[in-house]
Amino acid sequence: MDLSNKNVIHVVNGDCEYLQFRRLLEYNDVLKHAYGLKPYNFKVMEGADNKNAFECYQNLCNCIGVDYDRLVRPNQKHTDVVKVVDLIENSISHEKISYEDTDGLVTDKMEIVLGTVNADCILLMFFDPVKKVIANVHSGWRGTIQKIAVNAVNKMIEKFQSNPKDIICCICPSIRKCHFEVENDVKDMFEETFGYMSKVDEFIEYVGKDGDIDKWVIDTVMINKIMLHDMGLLEENIIDSGICSVCNSEKVHSFRVDKDDAGRGAALISLRG
């Protein structure tokens, strides 16, 4: 199964498989990145499985030419919090996650590797090639409702004087409208937050009843794209992998498919000097 398309290439290097965005590869001399696929699993667990996940991180880092010892990760608690990384002493150094109650990281420092993980949630990789700033953001449906993508762009503007017109945002594989089915409670939350958007009827759609229960599908990718566009990002700089984790669960980790056994995919991005 090859997931390559007009926006991403699927690289196979032994048992290490990953996606790279064609657009970001244009900056390969100053930027390294990847989205890790199955069979690797980047879910860090207590106890024995830790070794396996960290080996996966290490191998993926080696494949793209970044230093595993300089990997930092947020602990991803479905917050809207984006923090600036400027000290490498915050490195996870194999065992610990440094950034508590955080779902996005931003840096302008060279050689720091920002890592996030997902199983259906949206991961956004940001790059400003002018100011040389990167961000890596976990925007699950709760993060989307809290508009963490907007917080990330604001952080890049406030801390690093990024011009939104320069910022490239790449959207990793995630659950898509074809599979993100919800009931009234979640639908209502989205409607309350995003009902003002003109495309609301496109990204929230009624699909019918399951017994007595109303079912809806929501296009959280489209909502993130609209938020980014409204922040001033150019359409041609919002690059979507277009890959549904559920439709492609043979290669992409999916919570809806694999349930409690679900592993995690990982997005890594790093500036180089």
Give contact residues for Zn ion (rule: CB under 5 A). 176, 178-179, 244, 246-247
Cβ closest to Zn ion, residue 178 vs residue 234: 178
Give the number of residues written for the chain: 273
Cβ closest to Zn ion, residue 68 vs residue 255: 255
Closest approach of Cβ 39 to Zn ion, in Å? Answer: 21
Closest approach of Cβ 175 to Zn ion, in Å? Answer: 7
Cβ closest to Zn ion, residue 164 vs residue 265: 265
Cβ closest to Zn ion, residue 23 vs residue 179: 179
DSSP 166: G
Closest approach of Cβ 138 to Zn ion, in Å? Answer: 20
**How many angstroms separate the CA atoms of 237 and 49, rounded?**
38
**How many angstroms separate the CA atoms of 119 and 106, rounded?**
22
Closest approach of Cβ 45 to Zn ion, in Å? Answer: 27
Cβ closest to Zn ion, residue 131 vs residue 179: 179
**How many angstroms separate the CA atoms of 18 and 245, rounded?**
14
Strands 104-107 and 82-84, how do they pair?
parallel
Nearest residue relative to Zn ion (C-beta) = 244
Residue 173: cis peptide before it, omega within 30 degrees of 0: no
Closest approach of Cβ 248 to Zn ion, in Å? Answer: 8
Cβ closest to Zn ion, residue 116 vs residue 245: 245
**How many angstroms separate the CA atoms of 106 and 115, rounded?**
11
Closest approach of Cβ 191 to Zn ion, in Å? Answer: 22
- 159 CB-contact burial (10 Å; exposed 0-12 / middle 13-18 / buried 19+): middle
Element (H, E) at 191: helix 184-194
**How many angstroms separate the CA atoms of 206 and 215, rounded?**
6
Phi, psi at residue 120, to the nearest 5°? Answer: 95, -35
3-class SS of residue 205:
strand
